[in-house]
Every structure is written in C-alpha cells, then in structure tokens.
Structure 1
C-alpha cells in the first residue's frame, strides 16, 4: 500500500495499527439535525481521499475532499431525508444536496413536464430513494486494503415500471479515486424507459477563478441561445457574480482507443496543481452535459455523463430517442472519479484527453 508516500505491506501496517480504521476504512452513522435527521451515511476514508456515501439517497456521494481540500459543491439543503421529497415541478431542488454525485433518473430526467398523462418533476425520483440490502465488503487484497460498498435501489410502481439499480462503490486506501459500477435491470413485465445522468458537482476551492475545464468530445451543442452566446467561455471559471444566468452544453463523448471518454476540471493554484477527472465508457454513456452556475452562494460546476440528451421524457419520446429496457434486460455503467496532483501529472492527463 502506498500511504502518504510510504510503501507498506499488510504485515507492517497491522503491526502498527491494530484497527485498519486508524488509516482507512468506513464509518456508518445517521445525521441528526434539521431536515437531514435520520439520513444514513457511510464515510469512506481512503487516505488522502475521503468522501461520504449517502445510503438513504440512492448511495449517492455528498462531501468529498483530497488532503483536506474540498472538491465538491454542497447546497444549503444538506443531505435532506428522502421523506421530504416532492415530485412535481422543480421541487426536487429543495432536497438537492449537490455533492460529488447526485444520480438523476431512472425512468425520466431533465426539465419537468407531462408525458402520457404523467406529471414528471425535475430530474427524476432516484436520488430520493433509500438503498436497501446495503453491505460493506471492505477487506484486504494482498497488501492493498479495498473499500467496497454495495446496495440496491428500486424505482417501482404498482402496475407500472419496475427498474432496479445495483450499485458498487470501490476505492483503495492510498489511491485517490472512486470507482462506481451500476447494473440496471428491468424487473417488470413491460418495456420501461431508462434514462440516467450522473450529476457530478464541483465547488470551491477546487472551483475558483482561473480553473479550467476539459471534456473529450467530437461535437458540442448549447442548450439555449444564452448558452450559445457564452460558448467561447464555456471552459473557463470566473469569480461568482450576482445575477449570473446558468449555461448548459451537450457534449458528444469521443472515445479513445479503449472506448473510454474523459472530462476534467483543473486548478493550477491549489497545492502544486490539482485536478479531478471523470472516466466513462462512450458506448454506455455517450454524452456529457456541462452545467455552469457562477452565482454568489450558488457557485457550482457540474459535468454530467448520461445515456441520453437531458430533456423531458415527452421530448425524448417525440424525437424517437427515448432509451427503453425490455423485461429482464440489463445495462451496466462504469464511472471513475479520480484526483490528479501536480502540474506535470495534470499536463500528461490533459494531453491524453486532447489527443484522443
């Protein structure tokens, strides 16, 4: 194990640390204040990288930091208990905690609106569904300690769509990355829509004036006229301002020779240079959405891998691009979120993305 620059064997660690939680591992608890009361969370300590898995919010990830430096955006809502969820219109925003990951879906996402008589709210129900059958399979693999959390999230309705997501989150102590494997299956008897978007959010101080964005793509489309006017500035971050109007862009993911596609945010002013990358499969998640909101107090950038354009389900259906799962059909997605430290290491990663 490479732990803060020390190469240690399992034997060496166990001779000095009787409980692995001295240097890494997990801790489960419940939040106790305000609207977060009763929300189950599992903190993950992977050494330099630490993050919180919110069990009662679909095993999404809220806080995350590297060497004590915050990476993500946390709204004033906090990790609201799912019992406060309201499904209509934009009420979803009242329980949106941001965090390193908020999953949107599973049968609809994007703006609110009607589809076949169903009133669909913003970004779907997934993030308000508690996970069940949650297990911690963390343990030694040779001289590496692997943290492994698994759980099941069911979005189902009587006489309607029944879709299940099995999530596996893994990290290794001393390795600053998170691997998320999602396996989705239609457990019902009819075809069901399947839309998923990984709302990956970055905040201060990683997000700050001078930070840069890079997204591997072969085509870019602005979502509206205002975003189109700001195209030249889409990859740059400024200080927050009052009255900033959000911008949104759709990137068609370009695959490298391994079929992977990357996005990255870089801040040369933190440490000796700090960046966070996202790696996905361009086959299973062929799009990245960029959502940039540089408003005072609402200061956030989201890079969002997805399996479909971020539109209301009715629009997707009308355009003939609504993904469907047949009964028993399975789809699997992999997301890797990793930290890169040092200007030279960032430069190598940046060139790799540009050359793909």
Structure 2
C-alpha cells in the first residue's frame, strides 16, 4: 500500500487553515505550559444556539495521581478522554447507555506507576480499563522477546502522556470541538514516531471521530502498527448480544478460539473460567473502502458501532472476554493494521507496515452510540448492504501459533 507523505509544515498549515474562534493550549512541553484544572462552556464563548462544556481535571491520590481527564459533555452525552494515557477514551455515555466496561483496574493509572516489562511483558494490563486504547504505534500485539529487546504487550502509545494538548472550537455552527494530543515515541537509536491523536465531536450528536496522523520523524525507515482496541461491557454486552459485521473471512486466533467458531457472532453472559477468545476478521467494504461493524444487545435497542476504511485498517480482531463481572466482562471490536500476534509473526505474515523518513500515515474511525431500536436497525441494514450476497469464509485453523 502506498503511504501518503505529509510533512510537518503541511500538517501545521492544515491546522492553521481551519477557522477556529478559539484555540486553547493546555499542555506544551516546549513552552512549559501545563494548565491543569480547566473548564470552558458555550456561554464562555458567547454561543447561544449550542450547549456544551469541556473540562480538564487533574486527578489526586493512588496510582492516578497526576493523571488528567478531559470531559466533553453536551446535553446527556458525555465523552471522557485521558491525555495522560495516550489520548485513550475512558468512557462514553448517552441516554443512560454506556460505551465502556468495568475493569478490575478502577483508577486512571498514571503511566509513571506502570512497568510495561513486568509479568513477562504484560505490565500494560495494570492500566487497562479504557473504552478505546491505542495499541501501537511502534509495535503492537502479544509480548515477545526478539531483536535483543522485549516487545511488551500492545506497544507504548497508550501509556505515553501527550507532549502537547490543544482544544479547538469552530467559530460557527455546528461548533465542532476538537481535542488534539501529540504522542511521542522517541528512543535513541530506535523509534522516532510522533502521532497527532485527535478526537472531534459535534455537540448534540451521539457519535464522534478519531483521526490520527503518525509520522516518522527520523532518517531511517521504521516499522509501525496500530490496533484500535475498542471495548464494551454492560449494558450493551449481555447474554444473547451480537457482533454484526460484513465479514469476508474469519479464523480462530488460537486453538481455544476454535471451540467458539460455531457461535462467533453471539455472546454468553458472564461465565466463570471463560478464557479470552479471539477471532481474526477480514471485513468486506463498499467501493470507497468503508466498512461498518457493531455490537448490539439482545433486544436490538442498544448498540455501539464503528466505521473505518479498510485501506487504512484492513483487519479486525474480535476479542471475547465474557468472564465474570468482577474479572472483566468485556468484548473488543478492534480495527487495525495487524492482528494481535507478536510482532515477529506479523512481520513473517507481511502485515507490519513501514514509513519512510518524513512519511505519515492517517487513520480515521467514527464511533456511534445507539440507544433505540430504529438506530440499531438502520446501522444493521447498512452493514447488511455492504455484505450483500457475498459469502463469509470460515477458516477452522489458526493462521499462526505463538
């Protein structure tokens, strides 16, 4: 795939060409800016025909000491993002329905309290509780020791505080709110990747868009990978809930997942001793490369949907962890450039991409919350239209073994 080249100057010019009434810099390491607790409302900007509030809070106590949380709210819709944790989306709620889950990790853990190499490279799990966490960008997948180093679980981005944090608000309707954070994965002799991670939200809607631009700032070709680990628990996830997607091919991640192939679209209720069950999915898309996937509850009146382009994110990992509620009852719908195998396997199977010096890659995903039967049905029909009469190929053996 040809990777689009975007220079830093072009990126900055694109940002400056957008007409914003206000730009608020909350963090800038180069200029020693760290505003800490901060809030803004539509009234502060003199906006009368739209209602919204943006708030940044610095958390106190425990492992979350110093973590920041940005809360965007409009009406009864709320998005919570942590710039301390790589711009991960903590939770989304609207009409009393949540996109997110209940992890045993009940704090917004500051990365300073996490050792990624612990537990044999599984230290990432000590902070894992987000609705969406970026796995990447230097590498992702299960941990492995290779090249004289430990490739820890799911990379570093989700545990990297942003170096810059900017909030922009459009100067006219619909007053789109954009939160931008700069994630730096810079290591001497290794990575020099920098990512502008962006979330855009139109007040009053029950959807938002994530748009990331990752750039190789170094002088050498570098690998990159990304999985958008998007996670949902109750109330959408329940016994009888369904994964709905236009699936071209599905295969089990490992031998344990073979047991679940017959019912891969359906979910159990909380089940003690249920291990992680993962499926590798290649989705169908429309003529523009756009595809849609959704988790819907049993009654079909609540759902969480994701739209993305398979030219950017060609695969999807379907992660089922329907263990007990206290252990973490959750499923992941995870678009990515790679599956969750260790980077060594992904390299062998030619799914690890590369960036030339100065090159950038872009990724856009739109997330939807559905809180009534009509909206779930409408999205489901769009998914069915993409599938059409095309068949789903079910592969009964894993494509690789760790």
TM-score scaled by length of structure 1 = 0.90
Quick one: structure 1 residues 213 and 319, their matched pair in 2 at CA, closer, same or farther if it must change by over 3 Å? closer
Matched, 1:80 2:112: no
Tell me the residue number matched to 2:287.
257
Deviation at 1:102, TM superposition (A): 0.6
Tell me the residue number matched to 2:321.
293
Structure 2 unaligned segments of length 5 or more: list them. Answer: 1-40, 387-402
Tell me the residue number matched to 1:282.
310
CA offsets 1:143-164 (integer angstroms, 9 cap, x no match): x232111111010101221101
Aligned equivalent of 2:276, options 243, 246, 259: 246
Matched, 1:194 2:224: yes
Matched, 1:152 2:182: yes
CA contact (8 A) 1:105 1:123 kept: yes
Deviation at 1:258, TM superposition (A): 2.8
CA contact (8 A) 2:239 2:298 kept: no
Matched, 1:121 2:152: yes
SS at match of 2:175: strand
Deviation at 1:209, TM superposition (A): 1.9
Question: After superposition, where does 1:1-356 map in structure 2 within 5 Å?
Answer: 23-77=51-105, 78-88=107-117, 89-97=121-129, 99-142=130-173, 144-269=174-299, 273-296=301-324, 297=326, 298-356=328-386
CA contact (8 A) 2:278 2:319 kept: yes
CA contact (8 A) 2:54 2:72 kept: yes
CA contact (8 A) 1:65 1:71 kept: yes
SS at match of 2:382: helix
SS at match of 1:23: coil
Deviation at 1:269, TM superposition (A): 4.2
CA offsets 1:6-36 (integer angstroms, 9 cap, x no match): xxxxxxx989x96779931210111113111
CA contact (8 A) 1:46 1:171 kept: no
Deviation at 1:100, TM superposition (A): 1.6
CA offsets 1:15-67 (integer angstroms, 9 cap, x no match): 9x967799312101111131111101110113332111101011111022112
Q: How many angstroms apart in 1 are the aligned matches of 2:249 and 2:193?
A: 31
CA RMSD in angstroms, aligned pairs only: 2.1
Tell me which moved more, 37-46 or 20-29.
20-29
The count of aligned residue pairs is 339
SS at match of 1:159: coil
Q: How many angstroms apart in 2 are the aligned matches of 1:244 and 1:55?
A: 33
TM-score scaled by length of structure 2 = 0.80
Deviation at 1:246, TM superposition (A): 1.5
Q: How many angstroms apart in 1 are the aligned matches of 2:298 and 2:171?
A: 35
CA contact (8 A) 2:337 2:351 kept: no
Structure 1 unaligned segments of length 5 or more: list them. Answer: 1-12
Deviation at 1:122, TM superposition (A): 0.8
CA offsets 1:112-164 (integer angstroms, 9 cap, x no match): 1112111111111111100122111024423x232111111010101221101
Deviation at 1:232, TM superposition (A): 1.8
Deviation at 1:197, TM superposition (A): 0.4
CA contact (8 A) 1:268 1:343 kept: no
Stretches (4+) displaced over 4 A? 17-22
SS at match of 1:61: strand
CA offsets 1:63-91 (integer angstroms, 9 cap, x no match): 22112322211423221001012122111
Q: How many angstroms apart in 1 are the aligned matches of 2:320 and 2:94?
A: 22
Quick one: structure 1 residues 69 and 349, their matched pair in 2 at CA, closer, same or farther if it must change by over 3 Å? closer
